[in-house]
Amino acid sequence: MTDLLTRRLTLLASPAHRGLLALGLRGVERETLRVDATGQLSSRPHPAALGSALTNEQITTDYSESLLEFITPAEHDIATALQRLDEIHRFVHPQLQGEILWNESMPGELPPESEIPIAWYGTSHIGMLKHVYRRGLALRYGKTMQCIAGIHYNFSLNEDIWELLRGIDTEVDGSVSRRDYQSESYIALIRNFRRYSWLLMYLFGASPALSTNFLRGRPHQLETLSDDTLYLPYATSLRMSDLGYQSNAQAGITPHYNNLSSYIRSLSQAVSQPYPAYEAIGTKRDGEWIQINTNILQIENEYYSSIRPKRVIYSGERPVQALSARGVQYVEVRCMDIDPFEPLGISLLTSRFLDVFLHFIALEQSSLTSEDEGHENRHNFADTVKQGRRPGLQLQRDGQAIGLQAWGLELLDRMQPVAALLDAQSGGTEHARALAAQREKLHDVELTPAARVLREVREHHNSFAAFALQNSRQQAAQFLARPLTPQQTAEFAAAVAASLSAQNDIERTQTGDFDTFVAAYRASTLGNISV
């Protein structure tokens, strides 16, 4: 442990302050494709029984119309958030009319690109803006990419913890405000995340194989497992490899994480700088909008990052404006694959480890980064997602080679006192058990989710789609066998009705035309819109 980590843990371990550890917030956003009984992508609209995708705060869609997204409230205990996620699943399944939820990050066999439906949010200006943004994504990256699913894990420390730490930080003078100290501390967390997130890919990557037609004939270096399945023998997460959201335009974006202002400048430039290939396409085709603008990014969230600094936005703000005005409120971890062996896509044990990991990188020393280190971090991450289970794999640390297993075990040792503190606060042993489970994976690669997936695929005649379909069917049956109580069902039904009414009100009362609306959005003069 560094001296800084020791001092911070000692401070938080005191009876006067330990309770603050219980006041942070956790939330999960879980994506999942709707498919028919044979595993084919659903061509049906978003089920009306699930409410409005525009205004239902817990059940919506992401990129494709078929890609559901379930959003839990932010809770102090991740177990409470996962309980809500379970309830959402149990409400949704009976409404699917024979469809099931695909419990994998990578889709099965997909129809032609022209038949993949883009998410629809109604005829309001706000709804059309969300739809046009996704049309732009389809043009830039292809509709196939809109069928990839993942888990997003939202994490924050209680704000009083940051104030407490500011008081013992010898490198900070009194002129640094509480808000700025908290923001820069989250940016420091992100620097550490980028240093160590390869470990999450080894421990939790669960997409070593995919359906052959996912690549649509693009060149690749994958190996053939069967006629319908490609894979890499030592991969952990092909979802997070260069097979995912990539473009020449985004390749030029290099956000800086040495302070919040430089990060904001990087993204602000990308959302305002035209890109020649997108300019050639234009924003309209035959009078219809096909992308919000022709810049490198249509909006800030188009930049695909494994972690983001976040802030709840107010009326009239863009995300970077909110960060600039009031600082960072929490981080969103975006690199977690769907765990196909967990009906919710993520387990409580995994979540407890994420809490240990995120507390560790928040409290540990985080030196400023450089271009060389950034290259090293990207190289380590890329090597792990494509060959992280290769025996003897070497990563790079400060220009020196180090074995993945040795470095991983060293990191877990450094996390041990963090897990002990979290358990002392909660009065249990769950965090220590979560840490121990990950240590076993580093000692035995066959315990990793990616290795388990490949074993299952091989048992299903080397077919990724066959394994995923059978697995998803079994889990759907498990949810249907555990119906909600009548009261719980009524609460969800009320939320559905309220969301449909809210969308109707928006469509009924809006004024002006869509072109003016888009111009106002691009000028950042609209109300609170998440696209």
- For residue 358, pLDDT over 60 is answered with yes
- For residue 130, pLDDT over 90 is answered with yes
For residue 158 the two structure tokens come to 């209680």
Higher-scoring residue by pLDDT: 480, 316:
480
> CA 409 to CA 363: how far, in whole Å?
19
Average pLDDT over residues 306-321: 82
Amino acid at 143: K
264-287: per-residue pLDDT in tens?
998 988 999 999 999 999 999 999
- 30-39, 300-309, 357-366, 411-420: range with lowest mean pLDDT: 300-309
Q: Do residues 201 and 384 make contact, with C-beta atoms less than 8 angstroms apart?
A: yes
Supply the pLDDT for residue 528. Answer: 47
> CA 488 to CA 467: how far, in whole Å?
32
Q: Do residues 316 and 527 make contact, with C-beta atoms less than 8 angstroms apart?
A: yes
Higher-scoring residue by pLDDT: 1, 258:
258
Residue 374, H or E segment = helix 371-387
530 confidence band (pLDDT: 50, 70, 90)? low
70 confidence band (pLDDT: 50, 70, 90)? very high
- For residue 42, pLDDT over 80 is answered with yes
Supply the pLDDT for residue 317. Answer: 64
Q: Do residues 74 and 81 make contact, with C-beta atoms less than 8 angstroms apart?
A: yes
**What DSSP line would sit under 347-371, residue for residue?**
-HHHHHHHHHHHHHHHHS--PPP-H
pTM: 0.96
CA dist list (Å): 472 to 33, 73, 157: 11, 25, 35
Supply the pLDDT for residue 168. Answer: 87
Average pLDDT over residues 76-87: 98
- For residue 103, pLDDT over 60 is answered with yes
Domain ranges of the chain: 3-271+297-488
- 23-27, 163-167, 200-204: range with lowest mean pLDDT: 163-167
> CA 303 to CA 356: how far, in whole Å?
27
149-162: per-residue pLDDT in tens?
999 999 999 999 99
Q: Do residues 92 and 101 make contact, with C-beta atoms less than 8 angstroms apart?
A: yes
For residue 114 the two structure tokens come to 């022209």
Please, what CATH class does the domain formed by 3-271+297-488 belong to? alpha beta
Average pLDDT over residues 472-483: 98
Pairing of strands 67-71, 59-61: antiparallel
Q: What is the mean pLDDT of the chain?
A: 94
Supply the pLDDT for residue 279. Answer: 96
526 confidence band (pLDDT: 50, 70, 90)? very low
Average pLDDT over residues 291-295: 95
172 confidence band (pLDDT: 50, 70, 90)? confident
Q: Is 401 helix (H, G, I), strand (E, B) or coil?
A: strand
> CA 251 to CA 486: how far, in whole Å?
51
Supply the pLDDT for residue 527. Answer: 45
12-21: per-residue pLDDT in tens?
999 999 999 9
- For residue 25, pLDDT over 60 is answered with yes
**What DSSP line would sit under 61-129, residue for residue?**
E-SBTTEEEEEPPPBSSHHHHHHHHHHHHHHHGGGSTT-EEE-SSS--S---GGGSPBP---SSHHHHH
Burial of 452 (0-12, 13-18, 19+ CB in 10 A): middle
DSSP summary character for residue 446: G
Average pLDDT over residues 400-423: 98
426-470: per-residue pLDDT in tens?
999 999 999 999 999 999 999 999 999 999 999 999 999 999 999
- For residue 28, pLDDT over 80 is answered with yes
315 confidence band (pLDDT: 50, 70, 90)? low
Q: Do residues 355 and 422 make contact, with C-beta atoms less than 8 angstroms apart?
A: yes
In the sheet that holds 223-226, the strands lie side by side as 209-211, 229-231, 223-226
Task: Say which residue the tokens 């929490």 belong to.
Answer: 330
Amino acid at 113: E
- For residue 205, pLDDT over 60 is answered with yes
220-255: per-residue pLDDT in tens?
999 999 999 999 999 999 999 988 666 667 777 777
> CA 316 to CA 346: how far, in whole Å?
35
